């Protein structure tokens, strides 16, 4: 969602880093671009003014102007101020009091019902709580049925509400039923309106007074921009909300609501909805969001996602297999499927420092998601012995495999060849005793700079960490049609098909270079 803002800010900082020395004039020019970028992202104008003033004051300090890398120092200042603007440290739910009672409020269509289910799923998985869903919206058609269907998908109980019941009575009785069922996390899905009105506020205030919720979360559609901030402010005055959830953050929202909501309402952004699946709800980390906005990637989120899909013991086992050259096609297939659980290749690349800018340069080249399907089909056509011992796959076996998956022998050959190349590359990476490679330096940041508010992650052994990184190899090992990215071959199974995705102009230029090279050799 921050893509356009990231592009504008990257351009502004590129100009600043190009300056040998900074003075008041070039800092002012750079901050003018920052101001325009934030306003175009639909950030509240007062928030933009205060933000730029704070950055200017710090950027004009003597320590910055005399620094050997003044451009990088300004980037550091902007990063720190962005973290503060987004809320400082990450703020989670209050889980100390049991049962945890969460009241979801907001306008109609903002995503309260789905978010209640996503949050129930998150607390169950991360904190081992037992959720209980309460449909308290008796006005919207099928609202009760929708939440009950979602509860069945999650396998959690839901209160049997009916449209002739009063919302306050539903919530009060649900507390009793949840206690009887042994549930310790209760979620009230309250009614919404197309716009603010007094009857709605009175109903919500009555539910709050009678049920005393632990958390009152305002749910807003990120696509509405500044309107979301204005409505959040109105809800906060009447209900004293404890936090905000922004939905549809995976869309083309400009990000203004996320950047403004803390400054205007004083309430933290706690969660963001990143998709339609019940697992697509993320805890909001201000420091990580700031890194994404500045094009620095988000390595910690990538590691966490990898940890969620792979146990530490399994990661260590994988690292040992690679080091001993025992990584086979069956392991390869397992890792491809596991990577899909983390997300699309495009979403993964955005989390790696420097890769966001690389993707922009690639232009119209498409992410080879379909080619992964083809690689999977080829491996599925092999016998178990062939997957575990790729060396035995001779020409007759390759012909049989190609016939079984409906592809050409050349594509089977390409998959096996690229698998062998990737295997060699992984062994070289583990050649130093299984040590994990160093994390990449974040572009634009001074050496030794530590992101504020970054909390230490659970410690993993070197082999476990290497296993986590290597588990991404099936999708990161090569991108068809993206030749020129260091260390990356073609996607296994593509058989050169990825090159077809290059533009005609690029192919023509390559052909011309080859002809010129041949002519020089003849001379």
DSSP secondary structure letter of residue 281: E
- At residue 318 the predicted structure's pLDDT band, cuts being 50, 70 and 90, is low
For the segment 198-225, the average pLDDT, to the nearest whole number, is 89
For the segment 384-407, the average pLDDT, to the nearest whole number, is 90
392 pLDDT more than 70: yes
Distances (CA, A) of 8 to 2, 38, 330: 10, 9, 44
What is the enclosing helix (H) or strand (E) of 36?
helix 24-40
Residues 6+ apart with CB under 8 A from 194: 107, 108, 109
**% of the chain beyond a pLDDT of 70:** 64
Q: How many whole angstroms separate alpha carbon 518 and alpha carbon 427?
A: 36
User: Which of 78, 24, 86, 128 is closest to 446 using CA atoms?
Assistant: 78
- At residue 299 the predicted structure's pLDDT band, cuts being 50, 70 and 90, is low
494 pLDDT more than 50: no
Q: Helices 256-265 and 70-85: crossing angle, nearest 10°?
A: 60
pLDDT of residue 336: 74
Of 518 and 372, the one with more pLDDT: 372
- Pick the range with the lowest mean pLDDT from 21-25, 72-76, 152-156, 454-458: 454-458
pLDDT of residue 458: 44
Per-residue pLDDT of 256-291, as tens digits, reads: 777 888 888 888 889 988 888 888 888 888 888 777
248 pLDDT more than 50: yes
pLDDT of residue 92: 81
**% of the chain beyond a pLDDT of 90:** 21
Could you tell me where the beta strands, DSSP code E, fall in 87-228?
100-105, 131-135, 185-189, 215-221
Q: pTM for the complete prediction?
A: 0.63
Q: Is the dihedral of CA 58, 59, 60, 64 positive or negative?
A: positive
388 pLDDT more than 50: yes
Domains of the chain: 3-85 (1.20.120.140), 100-293 (3.40.50.300), 299-505 (1.10.260.30)
How many residues belong to the chain? 523
Which stretches of 278-394 are DSSP H helices?
A: 286-293, 299-309, 312-323, 329-342, 345-350, 355-361, 369-380, 384-388
């Amino acid at each position: 969602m921050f893509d356009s803002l990231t592009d504008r800010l990257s351009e502004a900082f590129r100009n600043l880093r190009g300056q040998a020395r900074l003075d008041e004039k070039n800092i002012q020019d750079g901050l003018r671009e920052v101001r325009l970028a934030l306003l175009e992202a639909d950030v509240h104008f007062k928030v933009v003014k205060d933000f730029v003033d704070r950055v200017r004051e710090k950027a004009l300090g003597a320590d910055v102007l005399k620094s050997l890398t003044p451009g990088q120092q300004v980037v550091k200042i902007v990063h720190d101020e962005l973290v503060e603007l987004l809320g400082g440290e990450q703020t989670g739910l209050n889980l100390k009091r049991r049962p945890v009672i969460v009241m979801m409020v907001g306008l109609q269509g903002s995503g309260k019902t789905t978010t209640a289910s996503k949050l129930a799923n998150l607390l169950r998985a991360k904190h081992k709580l037992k959720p209980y869903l309460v449909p308290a919206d008796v006005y919207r058609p099928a609202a009760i049925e929708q939440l009950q269907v979602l509860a069945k998908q999650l396998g959690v109980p839901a209160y049997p509400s009916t449209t002739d019941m009063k919302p306050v009575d539903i919530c009060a009785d649900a507390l009793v039923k949840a206690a009887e069922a042994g549930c310790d996390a209760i979620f009230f899905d309250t009614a919404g309106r197309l716009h603010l009105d007094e009857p709605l506020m009175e109903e919500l205030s009555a539910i709050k007074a009678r049920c005393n919720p632990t958390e009152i979360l305002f749910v807003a559609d990120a696509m509405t921009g500044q309107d979301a901030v204005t409505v959040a402010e109105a809800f906060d005055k009447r209900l004293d909300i404890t936090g905000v959830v922004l939905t549809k953050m995976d869309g083309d929202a400009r990000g203004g609501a996320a950047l403004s909501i803390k400054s205007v309402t004083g309430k933290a952004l706690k969660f963001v909805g990143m998709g339609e699946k019940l697992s697509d709800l993320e805890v909001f980390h201000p420091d990580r969001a700031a890194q994404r906005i500045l094009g620095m990637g988000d390595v910690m989120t990538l590691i966490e996602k990898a940890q969620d899909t792979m146990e530490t013991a399994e990661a260590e086992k994988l690292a040992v297999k690679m080091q001993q050259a025992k990584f086979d096609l069956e392991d390869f297939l397992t890792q491809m499927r596991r990577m899909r659980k983390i997300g699309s290749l495009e979403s993964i690349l955005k989390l790696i420092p420097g890769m966001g800018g690389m993707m922009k340069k690639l232009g119209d080249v498409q992410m080879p998601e379909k080619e992964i399907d083809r690689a999977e089909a080829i491996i599925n056509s092999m016998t178990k012995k062939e997957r575990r011992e790729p060396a035995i796959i001779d020409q007759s076996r390759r012909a049989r495999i190609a016939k079984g998956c409906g592809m050409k022998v050349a594509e089977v050959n390409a998959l096996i060849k690229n698998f062998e190349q990737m295997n060699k590359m992984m062994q070289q990476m583990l050649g130093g005793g299984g040590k994990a490679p160093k994390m990449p330096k974040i572009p634009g940041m001074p050496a030794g700079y530590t992101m504020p508010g970054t909390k230490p992650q659970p410690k993993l052994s070197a082999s476990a960490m290497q296993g986590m990184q290597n588990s991404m190899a099936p999708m990161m090992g090569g991108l068809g049609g993206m030749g020129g990215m260091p260390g990356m071959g073609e996607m296994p199974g593509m058989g050169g098909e990825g090159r077809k995705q290059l533009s005609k102009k690029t192919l023509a230029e390559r052909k011309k270079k080859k002809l010129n090279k041949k002519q020089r050799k003849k001379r």
